[in-house]
Chains A and B, each alone.
Chain A
């Protein structure tokens, strides 16, 4: 590029400018510019839709705010203080803990057994795997519709089949005492394939030599499973425990669609309560979005601490082979 000299004084500035241009050009072909050019679109999007909301949510949790009205009033920590004395928040917390305590162990143990059963070369195993995996791709709404119909109090197939073995009839989603159990059954059905795939992958990573060695030493199948295979599945189990707990604590779609928190609020879980506060009541003039944000942040904190605790515990218990 040619640079026109604008005179003596200009020469100096021109020289400096030339050096600047040169440096800029070198920067343009450098790895720094290339790297940032590659990540820039993603970084902007993640900043706007990932990082700003995290900070904004924190700010909102200290405000009295609705979603539509632009008024924002600082209320300090009173949103957080309110949670402790809110009976509906307490009920949501209890329901969430109840659900998680049932869902996490049930889904993981059943998946472990199924994965063990599927990890062999027998006829139709591809079909069996397919049957277990298919619910992974059905949406929560589709699953909800299927189970609402299957568990219909009057005309459902489940009550008919259970009646054949002398059980029921059950109210399922309409019975305050059974609704949560029915939700657990439904979500376990939906998640089994996911957990099974993880366990199956882990099982296939167990070295055959180890099992053969155990067998040579006279170990029964039962003890070689618990002494050899189970410890090797440690990392997979830890992943599933952490992952299932996180998703159980965030249960929403199923509750919103299938029970809408009922009957008698017995399935109202935390995220559903947050949704109701912000979008069903807060969208109007009640200005509960700030309070909802505070609850969401508390749940986030609980999830974070629980996850750290699980990893900390896991690190002491789980054996990593490589």
Chain B
């Protein structure tokens, strides 16, 4: 500060740039050993390593059984054998698993969108008796890890007669505390003036929520939807515990695990089944990458 005060000359932007020792990050002259950015030397192999397990699975899924048991590994199967995929569909109840997982996931995501929105709006905007207390108690359950509640929740689901049914996968997950938290935080950032104006015009709470708040919150709702979709689609422990013997209620993850167990030397089939199980999630990710990344970057949650 004092240096500026003593300096008789007024510094302009261009003057500052020509001061000795000043080098902006961008303009710093660098000796170039390579015709491209040296970071590629790290990033390209990194991308290869990250994609390798997936690519190798694709290659294996197109090989014959004999080719999979060849060492050194055969990196490209010559004529790709798409028949492995139809063989999996013929040998397993893949269609049933896929359908069950879709039904459970869609129901859970839809119900979470509705219930979390309602609850979060109340926590964010309505002053009612016990609001702070209830919100605190609900959030506190987020801290309790699954394995603590695993056994008692199993017993509750058993009491409700839901064991071995898809209901066991749906009912306990109809609402997610994380979703309520995410949306409450988001709703609090919305400008309240619009809602106040609508309230003066006599609009009900519900119509304010549906006509003003929800349209403004589509990015947050999309984030909740994709994260919930990811969790439900990929969930393994809860289906493992509650779907005991009824194969008609198997989810994809459960079916895939048993399929691998039953065909654990037929890697061409296991690979094909695995690729088919991953495909919907990967397609969704490519379509909605923004929301996945936002969901993780804002609150930081995986499974």
Contact = CB atoms under 8 A, between A and B. Distances in A.
B70 A155 contact: yes
B144 A42 contact: no
B180 A122 contact: no
A47 B22 CA distance: 62
B32 interface: no
A133 B227 CA distance: 14
Contact of A39 (B122, B144, B156, B284): B122
A299 B145 contact: yes
Nearest to B141: A50
Contacts of B257: 141, 257
Contact of B237 (A155, A160, A252, A292): A252
A33 B119 CA distance: 13
B147 A46 contact: no
Contact of A145 (B175, B256, B286): B256
Contact of A296 (B126, B148, B302): B148
B233 interface: yes
Interface residues of B, number: 97
A139 B233 contact: yes
A43 interface: yes
Interface in B214-262: 230, 233-234, 236-237, 240-241, 253, 256-257, 260
Interface string A34-71: 11101101110110111111101100100000010000
A42 B267 CA distance: 44
Contacts of A135: 50
Contact of B24 (A36, A212, A246): A212
Interface string B281-297: 11011100100110011
Interface string A260-282: 00000000000100110011000
Contacts of A67: 151, 154-155, 158
B54 A146 contact: yes
Interface residues of A, number: 99
A198 interface: yes
Nearest to B145: A250
A29 to B, nearest CB: 10
Interface stretch (B1-9, B87-95, B130-138, B188-196): B130-138
Nearest to A149: B267
B205 interface: yes
A50 B127 CA distance: 24
A289 B177 contact: no
B34 interface: no
B236 A36 contact: no
Given A52-B152, A250-B146, A128 B293 contact: no
A51 B153 CA distance: 10
B274 A146 contact: yes
A134 B121 CA distance: 33
- Looking at chain B's contact residues, is the secondary structure mostly helix, strand, loop, or mixed? helix
B50 A192 contact: yes
Contact of A38 (B122, B144, B303): B122
Given A122-B37, A155-B69, A216 B21 contact: yes
Contacts of A104: none
A293 interface: yes
Contacts of A142: 256, 274, 277-278
B200 interface: no
B210 interface: no
Among A33, A67, A117, A128, chain B packs the most CB atoms within 10 A around the CB of A128
A80 interface: no
B73 A134 contact: no
A125 B43 CA distance: 9
Contacts of B115: 41-42, 45
Contacts of A52: 152, 156
Interface in B1-45: 21-25, 28, 36-37, 39-40, 42-44
A201 interface: yes
B285 A137 contact: yes
A211 interface: yes
B57 interface: yes
Contacts of A114: 46
B198 interface: no
A49 B73 contact: no
Interface string A216-243: 1010000000000000000000011001
20 contacts: A35-B128, A39-B118, A45-B174, A46-B175, A54-B149, A56-B155, A117-B46, A122-B39, A123-B36, A133-B292, A138-B234, A141-B257, A145-B57, A149-B270, A155-B71, A212-B25, A218-B21, A250-B146, A271-B147, A296-B151
Given A135-B50, A137-B292, A139-B278, 9 more contacts: A57-B151, A136-B292, A136-B296, A141-B234, A141-B253, A160-B73, A211-B25, A274-B147, A293-B151
Interface of A: 31-36, 38-39, 41-43, 45-46, 48-54, 56-57, 60, 67, 114, 117-118, 120, 122-125, 127-128, 130-143, 145-150, 152, 154-157, 160, 189, 191-192, 194, 197-198, 200-201, 208, 211-212, 215-216, 218, 239-240, 243, 246-247, 250, 252-253, 256-257, 271, 274-275, 278-279, 289, 292-293, 296-297, 299-300, 303-304, 307
